Each structure stands twice: as structure tokens, then as C-alpha cells.
Amino acid sequence: MLPFWNFTLVIHGGAGEVMMLNSKVVEVIEFALKTALGLGSQVLQHGGSSLDAVQRSVEALEDCFLFNAGKGSVFNKDGKNEMEATIVDCSGINSGSVACLQRVRNPIKAARCVMDKSPHSMIVGEGAEDFVHGLEPGEPLGPDYFYTDIRHKELMVKLQADVNPQNNHPQTVGAVALDRWRKLAAATSTGGLVGKLKGRVGDTAVVGAGIYGDDKLAITCSGDGDVFLRHTVAQKVAILYNHKGYTLRQACREVISENLKGISAGIIAVDSKGEPPWLAEFHGLRSSDLCLRSPM
């Protein structure tokens, strides 16, 4: 039996534009990340699974308005929130994804429900909401819960200028973990792009694009979701690692160099060997600010 501290948990708060944040806001973001890391770490310290740990950390970030997921999700072109999330049980190579959610507080919890309690891998829109609310009856959330002034201002700038506004907050959230039983898991959640078209689905909801996991490694990504979809980024990292003999560092660097030049992108990954996890960034994410690792 491995000692209880022999686990790894890595989280990220996203890869957005270069962020010009004052020190007070940075402190709040770092506190939110440390809180989310601590909640996930508690699961692992008490012998819990990597799957429960990544879900718990991502839920905590979804509950914080500073991140583009759950409570802090951006608005689409019609002024609505459409959220997506995926969770992957790497040991069983099983996953659950949701997209175009508008009335669910924690999309990552909905994704877990799809994985554990449905025969499907992905459910979207009203179908996903009806499925989740059928399992956990309660009053659906209204749009007021997700409204924040900063997100509304971002939408107005986007619509008026027809350009992407400077992101003053991190984008997307994610977590990867290795528990003491050497089982891996990955989770990710996002509100997508500011001013996106109604019904747009990004890489966060697609295994192989923004997230991937098998019995050897777990990966989550953040950045321009359409580019990640077109290049199946997470899958390419896994292929280099599993079949070409690359280390995690080499695989992430290769994919970023070849497929993600000039875009906002970030990748976090951990493998089953328990080696130090890899945090890769390009244009906008500094791992020391937004990614934290639990003590080994």
C-alpha cells in the first residue's frame, strides 16, 4: 500500500490573453486556485479517487466568478450562457461530456452524471439539463445566477467592436490527478468564447481535443477551442507519449510548437509513473500563477 501523501493533483485556471491584473485581483485568483487545490487534495489525502478529486477541484472553480466556467461563464452573442464540461476516468477509459448548458450550476457534476448514470458519452442542451434535473430534482437556476458585470461588459465590447476583448480574467478551468492507487483522472469546464454563436461547442466537450485520458496519462487543455478541435491537440500529445517514446514535456512542447503557434494555449498533464507533472504554456498562461501541484 502506498502512503497517503503519494499522489499528484494539478489544476489550471485557464489560458487567456496576456492579463493586466492589479495585485489585489491576482491575490484573489491565487486564493481561489489554492482553495480549489486544497479541496481536491483533501479527497486524495483521505484515500479518495483521482476522479472525485478532479471533480471537486473543478466544482470549486466553477463556483468562483473569476473563472470562465460555471458562475463566471461568458455570454454568447445572444447574451446567454452556454457551458460545457468533460470528465474522464482514465483507468476505465470512460468519460462523460455535456454542452450548451444554461441552467446547471456545476457542469462538471452534470458530466459525471452522464458518465456514471447514462449509456452515453455526451448529452447537450435541454436534453442534458432534463437528464441531470431528473436525477437531482430541484429548482433550475435562472440566468441571474450566472450574470456578472465583467462578463456583460466583455460581451458589449465584442459586439460593438467585433473583436475579441482583452480578457481580464483567466479562461476555462481544468484538473488532472493521480491517486495513491495509481489511477488517473481528468476534468475540464468552460463557458466558451465571448460572443460565440448560439449552439457553438468547443474542445472542452470533446475527448481527444481539449481533454484526454488513458491508463498511462491524463491531459487537459485551455485556449482557442476551435483550434484545439481542428488539431485534436490532447490526442496528439497522447500519441507522442504512448507510441513515439516522448516524455510529457517533449510531447506537449512538440504539439504546441507544431500546431498552436501564435494562439493562446495551455496544457497540463500527469502520467501514471508519478513523475513531476508537466505544465506547458504559450501566449497568456504562466504556470507559476495559475497551476498548482499538491505535495508528494
Could you tell me the CA-to-CA distances from 259 to 129, 251, 264 in Å, in that order? 34, 12, 12
Alpha helices in the chain (DSSP H): 23-45, 50-62, 107-117, 125-135, 149-161, 225-231, 233-243, 248-259, 287-290
- List all residues 6 or more positions away from 132 whose beta carbon is below 8 Å from its beta carbon: 98, 104, 109, 110, 113
Measured distance CA(51)–CA(209) in Å, rounded: 19
> In the structure grid, which three cell numbers stand for residue 274, read together?
508519478
When computed from its CA atoms, the radius of gyration of the chain, rounded to whole angstroms, is 17
52, 177 Cβ separation under 8 angstroms: no
Quick one: which of 15, 106, 9, 110 has its CA closest to 64? 106
Q: Which residues are catalytic?
A: 172
196, 77 Cβ separation under 8 angstroms: yes
| Residue recorded with cell 462578463 | 151
Quick one: which of 73, 296, 24, 113 has its CA closest to 200? 73
> In the structure grid, which three cell numbers stand for residue 105, read together?
450550476
